[in-house]
Structure 1
Amino acid sequence: MPELPDVEGFRKVLESCAKGRVIERVDVRDAGVLHGVSTRRLRDALEGRRFTEAERHGKWLLARTDGGPTLMLHFGMTGLLVCGHPDDAAEPHDRVLFTVGAGRQLRYRDQRKLQGLWLAADDSAVERLLDRQGPDAMAVGRAEFEAALSARHGRVKTVLTDQSVLAGLGNLLADEILWRAGLRPTCRANDLTEAERRRLYTHMRRTLRSAVTAGRVPPRDSWLTGHRDDPTPTCPRCHGPLRRSRMASRSTVWCPRCQPDES
């Protein structure tokens, strides 16, 4: 599932492939990924314009155009943004293709189609679409982060992955950050001490910086992520067995030795 580091990578793909280039053609191969906009309106709004700035907020990617609307993309569980050539054969899951000149084509590719593309006419429309999003996890300050956790009674992992609280963290990142901070996912957010909240914030920042550099949550041998899918997963820190459970319908992995019970 694309999380903040993946979407930051997609932002870089958009910039390198399409920034400053004229959108010559919009080819909608599957209108099922369009939300609140028809194929014809999407074409009429974008063809002939240029992509200018590419921004990210949490898991959302915003593709600005010159004096025109903003294309907003969300990648759900299986979405990708890739740069190809207009003559390359389309992949089965290429849903929308943007031919931008200089032999380049930006492709929104998504197998499961759980999210997709929106078109925001102006900044107020962008704000409405992002209205339920919390602060971006890469940009949030420590005081705001700590205040948000202190005000939530839910389990800390559920709070971290709630996009209305903090935008950008998903299942892998939340497990990784909590493991690094030595906090069990079932801890109540508002029960964390000030020292625990600060430790969590510090490890979130460090984990995000490394993951953004890698362009994803990297399955490194020294990371929890590198072992969670092993047949017999063990903790890369203490080498004890990892535990697995379900939390809010998501697979959750933690180390009972490195992340002791809050009691």
Structure 2
Amino acid sequence: MPELPDVESFRRVLNTCCRGRRVRRVEVRDAGVLRGVTAKRLRREVEGQRLGRPRRHGKLLVVPIGDGPALVWHFGMTGELLSASADDPPATHDRVVLTFDDERQLRYRDQRKLQGIRLSPNPRTLERLLDELGPDALDMTRPDFLDLLTRHRGAVKGVLMDQSLIAGLGNLLSDEILWRARVAPRRPARDLDDAEARHIFTAMRRVLATATRDGCVPPRRTWLTGRRDDAEPECPRCGARLRSSRVSGRRTVWCENCQH
């Protein structure tokens, strides 16, 4: 599932390959990925306009269109953005294709179609949408993060994944962060002592720095992420068998020997 690092890589694609270019044609191959906008209206608002500077907030990617509306992508479980040539054969799951004046294309590819593309008609509507999210995980200060943990009694993993509290962290990132901080995912957030909370914040910053540079949560063998799908997964740090269960509604992997 695309998380903050993946969406940041999509932002780079837009900024490098598409920013400032005029959209000549919008092809909606599957309207099932459109949210709150018809294919006809999407074409009317976007065709003939230039894409502005993209910005990311958590897992959302926002791209201004001309002087008014903005495209908002939510990538769900399987969405991605790719820059391609018009000569490249389309993939089965290319749902929406934007073609620019120079024949370059921006393709929204999504197998499961759980989320998709919105059109925000004006800045006020966009800000209302973003106000539903917490601060971006990369922008959080340590004092704000520590205060957040003390105010919530739920499992710490649930707090990390709650997009209304912290925007951008998903399942893989949350497990990786807690493993590095040596904190069990079911621990109540407000029961953590100051040292544990600081360790989680430091782990979050370090994991995000590496993952954002790589454009994904890297499946390195020295990371929990690189072991979690093994047939008999072992902790990269101590070699103990990893546990797997559902925490806060999601499959969670952790090391009982390391995480307390």
TM-score interval, normalised by the smaller of the two chains? over 0.9
Query: 2:15 maps to what in 1?
Result: 15
Query: 1:239 maps to what in 2?
Result: 239
Matches within 5 A, 1:215-226: 215-226=215-226
Cα distance in 2 for residues equivalent to 1:248 and 1:150: 18
Matches within 5 A, 1:71-86: 71-86=71-86
- The amino acid of 1:207's aligned partner reads V
3-state SS, counterpart of residue 6 of structure 2: helix
In the alignment, structure 1 residue 205 sits paired with structure 2 residue 205: yes
Aligned length: 260
Shift of 1:144: 1.2
Cα distance in 1 for residues equivalent to 2:248 and 2:104: 41
Cα distance in 2 for residues equivalent to 1:146 and 1:70: 34
Q: TM-score under structure 1 normalisation?
A: 0.97
Tell me how large the CA RMSD over aligned residues is.
0.9
3-state SS, counterpart of residue 53 of structure 2: strand
Shift of 1:206: 0.5
Matches within 5 A, 1:188-203: 188-203=188-203
Matches within 5 A, 1:1-263: 1-260=1-260
Cα distance in 1 for residues equivalent to 2:12 and 2:101: 18
- The amino acid of 1:31's aligned partner reads A
3-state SS, counterpart of residue 258 of structure 2: coil
8 Å Cα contact 2:155-2:188 kept in structure 1: yes
Identity of aligned residues (%): 55
- The amino acid of 1:33's aligned partner reads V
Shift of 1:86: 1.6
Cα distance in 2 for residues equivalent to 1:123 and 1:144: 27
Query: CA deviation digits over 1:226-256, x for unaligned, max 9?
Result: 1000111011111111111111331100011
Query: CA deviation digits over 1:103-154, x for unaligned, max 9?
Result: 3100111011000001111211111222221000011111111111111110
Shift of 1:88: 2.1
Q: TM-score under structure 2 normalisation?
A: 0.98
176-185 vs 93-102, greater mean Cα deviation: 93-102
Cα distance in 1 for residues equivalent to 2:199 and 2:101: 47
Give the 4+ runs in structure 1 shifted more than 2 A: none
Listed as ranges, the gaps of 5+ residues in structure 2 are none
- The amino acid of 1:18's aligned partner reads C
3-state SS, counterpart of residue 105 of structure 2: strand
